[in-house]
Amino acid sequence: MSGRPRGDISRRGRASSGPALAPPGAPAAAFPRPDRPVAEIVAPRWSSEAERDRAGEFEQVAEGMGIAPGETVADIGAGSGYYAVRLSPRVGPRGRVLAEDVTPSYLAALEKRVKALGNVTVVRGEPHDPRLPPASVDAAILVHMYHEITQPFGLLHNLAAAMRPGGRVGIVDADAIPSRHGTPPALLSCELAAAGYRETGFRPLADGAYLAVFAAPAPDSRPRPETIRPCRDDATAR
């Protein structure tokens, strides 16, 4: 990811490790493609964990998301497990972490890394569908990977079905165009709005990154796939 990927992140292919936790949602073919480039995957992490800890990345995101003990949190595109292992003590024994990805090698490594963590479950998703149980998730995070999702409208639509009432979705990305492994905040807000999400918070992070927080739509209020219109950003298109 030119130094910023984590998780599967182009969301291509299917994983053989880890179970899907729900039946398939709406198919990818039902949604329009984004009117912008999609970045390529480079690696399951964008920086060393020590550097990220020194920058206070996890704490800033967890606080900005309001992650609390007892909650169920989905780490979409969990990659190397940086967030999953830190979310585990944050949500505590009454909470649950769903570490989702679609790349087989990432899932296999995740299984080994979180084996001793009783509140972390590794989940096999699909490029357009995290395959999480309906109304099971309090908060979901997507970190440095949104710009690599080949079918963002499908993923957001199917993710909304997994969110509990009041569920929030936090997206961390760089303020840059996809070819530079980022998503301009205005474009992100437009695409999330097109999928029925409402922005509720925004905060800058280190190194030109940001956290944008959104309220997920109720399943019965999601826009129908055929009514979604892609957003266009001239700078991104170039």
Q: What is the pLDDT of residue 200?
A: 98
Quick: pLDDT tens for 158-200.
999 999 999 999 999 999 988 788 999 999 999 999 999 999 9
133, 187, 196, 134 alpha-carbon torsion, rounded to 10°: 0
Angle between helices 57-65 and 82-91 (to 10 degrees): 50
Q: Is residue 73 helix, strand or coil?
A: strand
How far is it, in rounded angstroms, from Cα 150 to Cα 167?
24
Q: What is the pLDDT of residue 13?
A: 35
List phi, psi (to 5°) of 144.
50, 45
Please give the model's pTM, rounded to 2 decimal places: 0.88
- Where does residue 23 rank: exposed (0-12), middle (13-18), buried (19+ CB within 10 A)? exposed
Q: What is the pLDDT of residue 235?
A: 61
Q: What is the pLDDT of residue 238?
A: 56
Per-residue pLDDT of the chain (238 residues; tens, 9 = 90+): 333 333 333 333 333 457 889 999 999 999 999 999 887 665 555 568 999 989 899 999 999 999 999 999 999 999 999 999 999 999 999 999 999 998 999 999 999 999 999 999 999 999 999 999 999 999 999 999 999 899 999 999 999 999 999 999 999 999 998 878 899 999 999 999 999 999 999 999 988 899 999 999 999 999 999 999 999 876 665 5
